């Protein structure tokens, strides 16, 4: 992971998960979207609810922010970094890139 960047790609996340590296995936999509597909053990908090739920988020390990394609999660990552979460990283391409490259059997929308 490039620590100078505020984003990671799905291959890096898959490597982290495979190696058992401690991390939290924050999925900022809406419930209707997460019902279609999600990554196991993700923390599901819709984008608009993130500011009121900051206490649920870790500071001590990577916090990977994810949405459908990476736009909403980029905004949330910037918000989190501006509010003390220097461990926040945007997942490039979102769950769609994850489904296309990592979990190819995952439903897509």
pLDDT in tens, 11-33: 999 999 999 999 999 999 999 99
Tens of pLDDT, residues 39-58: 999 999 999 999 999 999 99
d(CA 75, CA 61): 20
The pTM of this model reads 0.94
Q: Which residues are catalytic?
A: 67
Phi, psi of 18 (to 5 degrees): -65, -35
Domain 7-101 = CATH 3.40.250.10: yes
Q: What pLDDT is recorded for position 2?
A: 42
Check pLDDT > 90 for residue 1: no
């Amino acid at each position: 992971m490039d620590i100078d960047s505020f984003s990671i790609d799905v291959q890096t996340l898959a490597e982290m998960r495979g190696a058992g590296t401690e991390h939290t995936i924050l999925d900022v999509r809406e419930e209707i979207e997460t019902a279609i597909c999600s990554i196991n053990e993700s923390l599901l908090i819709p984008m608009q609810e993130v500011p009121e739920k900051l206490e649920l988020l870790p500071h001590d390990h990577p916090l990977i922010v994810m949405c459908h394609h990476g736009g909403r999660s980029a905004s949330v990552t910037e918000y989190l970094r501006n509010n003390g979460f220097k461990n926040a990283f945007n997942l490039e391409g979102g769950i769609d890139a994850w489904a296309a490259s990592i979990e190819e059997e995952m439903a897509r929308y």
